[in-house]
Structure 1
Amino acid sequence: MSEAGPLSLGQLSVWHDIRGLPAARRHEPNNAAAWPLPPGVTVEQARTALRAIVTRHPSLRTRYDVHDADAPRQLPPDVHLDDHLPVVEGDGTGPDELAAQLAAEPFDLGRQHGWRARLLARRGTASHLLFVKHHIAADAWAQELLHQEFRRALTDPAGLGDTPPGPADLAAEQHTPAGLRRRAQALDHWAQLLDRAPSVGLPRGAATEGRAVQGTLHSAPARPAAHAVAERARVSVSSVVLAAYVRSVARMCGADALLVQLMSANRFAGRWRNVVTSMNQWVPVLIEHARGDDLVELADAVHWSGLGAFRHGMHDVTAVAALRARMPAAPEPACAFNYVAVPEGSAPDAPVGPACAGVPALTWEEPFTTIGPRCYARVLETERALSIRLTAKDLGRDECAELLRGTHEALLTAARGN
């Protein structure tokens, strides 16, 4: 690409979420990671490996022309880059905390590439690469791909292969006649659901107006319970957890049907499965009979409704916004759900927590970001436990805890066959 071009649909979704953020919140699209280094890695090895992955992926060398907020463009990937890797000497602060501090500084997308890195050393020995990226540059799947490639490049920086396609290539395909047809079908999916869905939402109170809370339930027993129900229902584990969560929300709302936003990874086509960019987009699904007692039956319905929704996961958010503007009574989603998927062989990106002892634990955190839906559950499955992080706006801790514990109890009860 020799001149600026349109954003891909995933990039455009990120841009719509962030373009109106005040200066004090412009760090919120950032994600932080602390990648442990194998023993004996030198500063030069780490710098060479980092340069190998940045050179390989166009998204990490891309800046953006956002002067017209309604028509952002991505610039051609820069050929030259600054591969300086500052070394931070550890002072007792943990690597995750240091990475979070690094993420608190926003990116200027017009002047900077959407990532930064530091090498953490302990008493002169490199221990971690602190890596921060803007969500427009890479989603969770892409970030883990970068992690895996970085580890390989530490020993074989020339062995990563040819430059893969980037977001500009994806955007070009999405603007072909076939791509435009798929976008029209996705928009039709939105129109049909917005026309059918009821206006249902979680309660709001004066005491919680304008507040955001975040709680995470860590549970070892929830993982085998979800797998047992999934096997009985012959659906995915994510569908089972979604069913339990939706039922908890529906009972708090006092409604049988909910409009729910699902996070679609959109990595279903082989060529784009491992492209480094942001491909995540919210896609709506209408879930009916959500308060039912039979979680197996609900999981089956959720599974098939979700698969239908994911077929329309790539959509033009600008067109969806225009559609909603033409429908003054268009309902807002009651909740949102994301079952985190990362490439095979990835390490968990969150601690399992006290649930390792077999006792579910609920912890509270200060949200790093409140971008996105009002009531958003992000589920992470590790080899030992299930963690459900709920970020909710205009909702108190008691209600947040009730939703999390209701989801957890639904999984355990269904697994017992009750």
Structure 2
Amino acid sequence: MTAETTYPMTFGQLAVWRDIERMLPERRWEGNLSFCWSLPPRGVTAADVWRAVGALGMRHASLRTTFDVTDLTDPRQRISVDSPADVIAAVRQPGRDVALSRIETEEIQRPFALNTDLPWRVWLTGSDDAPGKLMVVIHHMAADGAGINVMERDFHALLAGETLPPVPQPAELAMRQRSGEVDSKLLAAEAYWRKTLATAPRRVAPRPGAVLRATMHTGIPEPMLRAAAQGIGATVAAVSLTAYCRALISTGVTSTPVLLYPMSSNRFDPAVTSVVTSMNQWLPVLAELDPDQSFAQAARALYVRNMRALKHGVYDPDTVTRVREDAEREGGPLDPGYHFNLLLPPMTVDPPEEIQESSIEWHTPIRSTGPGFYLMASADTTVRLTVRVIREGYRREELHALLTTMRDDLLELVGSNGDKVR
């Protein structure tokens, strides 16, 4: 294999790969994601759908990529198939009556051999003349949440016969990241990590415990929360992160300052907005909340701090590993921190116009690795807050209190309409 046929991983791909390396071999399937796309109720056949799948794979090189990890210091990517027919042959899975529940449990736990397998598998339900749903399992090396949204948009456009303009590709991005073009940004990111971790709290990491996972369906329409956030000079991400931080303190999970790790999707540059790959990288943000601050004041302050951090969203994960090791050598064990991610997928139906009744849904987790304390906020109609905890000493009661506290803060923010459902 030569340098002409392989390329370095992007920093986003490398970040995911380093996480996978730390997993036990039998848990490496936890890098898999699953989703389901609805198809038009009429006017398309199964053959049309598979043609669009092949075209999608040709459009986004990450869907035709395998990985060479022989050299652990320089893992690389390569394009492995060159035709729509090859894409379809590699990803098409048998079974027209496969249930979504099987995809989300059994199939998501079937690992990819990343050195030989294309990093996605596709099932099509229904008949030749009336296809039902397209169900996909994809590895996180190939796409993150924003990338999956791009895939969905492009798939439906290709299915409709549209001609789409070219998009950036991961290999191009990886070469640019290592070309010297972004050296100053990488050095600034390294300096930001060093400065933040130097002042981060030193707390002994709690031992792993049973996995708890629950979702608070806040009932708050996303447009309503967005308008309320804009009204105080913040964003949905900022107010969600603020509610998380305040709840962690008020319920006794931790104390100020709080070491937060929000996710950067790294798609602020228009040149990479439509790239399909994994671009997610965690960023440290130290939040010092004044107990006398209002929610709005805390949200504005955290919004500014988070935006400053996002300027450093592209970094070399191996460099940051060394920075973390240096910080621990100099000051003791770092607080493991509290992770956060916000996903705003396309709205498939119109959101409600009024606040709905809230509820908590408890999940049976299948994943047992990853961040020890993780809030995933999402909204395709109303806002949902999913917390996953893999730390000893937490029970449903503590998680219930955390989620309820976050919901109450957000309800208060959107105004008196929240009183209708308390």
With the length of structure 1 as denominator, give the TM-score of the two structures: 0.89
Q: Aligned residue for 2:383?
A: 386
Structure 2, unaligned runs of 5 or more: none
Q: Aligned residue for 1:104?
A: 109
Residue 158 (structure 2) pairs with residue 161 (structure 1): no
Q: Aligned residue for 2:407?
A: 408
SS in 2 for 1:367: coil
Q: Structure 1 179/371 Cα, relative in aligned 2: closer, same or farther at 3 Å?
A: farther
Q: Aligned residue for 2:363?
A: 365
Larger mean CA deviation between 101-110 and 1-10 belongs to 1-10
Is the CA contact 2:23–2:369 (under 8 Å) kept in the aligned structure 1? no
Instruction: State the alpha-carbon separation in 2 of the partners of residues 416 and 153 from structure 1.
Output: 43
Larger mean CA deviation between 279-288 and 359-368 belongs to 359-368
Instruction: State the alpha-carbon separation in 2 of the partners of residues 214 and 90 from structure 1.
Output: 29
Residue 17 (structure 2) pairs with residue 15 (structure 1): yes
| Aligned AA (1:195) | A
Is the CA contact 2:200–2:335 (under 8 Å) kept in the aligned structure 1? no
Residue 312 (structure 2) pairs with residue 305 (structure 1): no
SS in 2 for 1:327: helix
Instruction: State the alpha-carbon separation in 2 of the partners of residues 303 and 110 from structure 1.
Output: 40
Larger mean CA deviation between 222-231 and 234-243 belongs to 222-231
Is the CA contact 1:222–1:412 (under 8 Å) kept in the aligned structure 2? no
Is the CA contact 2:34–2:103 (under 8 Å) kept in the aligned structure 1? no
Q: Aligned residue for 1:268?
A: 268
Is the CA contact 1:213–1:391 (under 8 Å) kept in the aligned structure 2? yes
1:46, CA displacement in angstroms?
1.0
1:357, CA displacement in angstroms?
8.2
Residue among 49, 52, 55 paired with 2:52 = 49
Q: Aligned residue for 1:143?
A: 148
Map Cα deviations across residues 257-277 of structure 1 (whole Å, 9 max, x no partner).
111001001001111111010
Instruction: State the alpha-carbon separation in 2 of the partners of residues 346 and 77 from structure 1.
Output: 34
Residue among 200, 213, 236 paired with 1:197 = 200
Is the CA contact 1:374–1:393 (under 8 Å) kept in the aligned structure 2? yes
Instruction: State the alpha-carbon separation in 2 of the partners of residues 224 and 270 from structure 1.
Output: 24
| Aligned AA (1:2) | E
**1:11-410 mapped onto 2 (5 Å cutoff):** 11-40=13-42, 41-80=44-83, 81-84=86-89, 85-90=92-97, 93=99, 95=100, 97-98=102-103, 100-121=105-126, 125-156=130-161, 159-162=163-166, 164-200=167-203, 209-221=208-220, 223=222, 226-227=225-226, 229-251=228-250, 252-289=252-289, 291-292=291-292, 294-328=294-328, 329=332, 331-342=334-345, 345-347=346-348, 358-383=356-381, 385-394=382-391, 395-410=394-409
1:72, CA displacement in angstroms?
1.0
Q: Structure 1 253/358 Cα, relative in aligned 2: closer, same or farther at 3 Å?
A: same
SS in 2 for 1:314: coil
1:13, CA displacement in angstroms?
0.6
SS in 1 for 2:30: coil
1:87, CA displacement in angstroms?
4.6
SS in 2 for 1:32: strand
Structure 1, unaligned runs of 5 or more: none
Map Cα deviations across residues 313-336 of structure 1 (whole Å, 9 max, x no partner).
111111111111122225234311
1:69, CA displacement in angstroms?
2.8
Q: Structure 1 225/53 Cα, relative in aligned 2: closer, same or farther at 3 Å?
A: closer
1:225, CA displacement in angstroms?
6.6
Map Cα deviations across residues 139-197 of structure 1 (whole Å, 9 max, x no partner).
1111121112111212316x2333x2211110111112231221111011000000011
| Aligned AA (1:374) | G
With the length of structure 2 as denominator, give the TM-score of the two structures: 0.88
Instruction: State the alpha-carbon separation in 2 of the partners of residues 145 and 316 from structure 1.
Output: 25
Aligned-pair identity (%): 28
| Aligned AA (2:348) | A
Instruction: State the alpha-carbon separation in 2 of the partners of residues 82 and 237 from structure 1.
Output: 38
User: How many aligned residue pairs are there?
Assistant: 404
Map Cα deviations across residues 37-67 of structure 1 (whole Å, 9 max, x no partner).
1123212111111000101111111111112
| Aligned AA (1:42) | T
SS in 1 for 2:240: helix
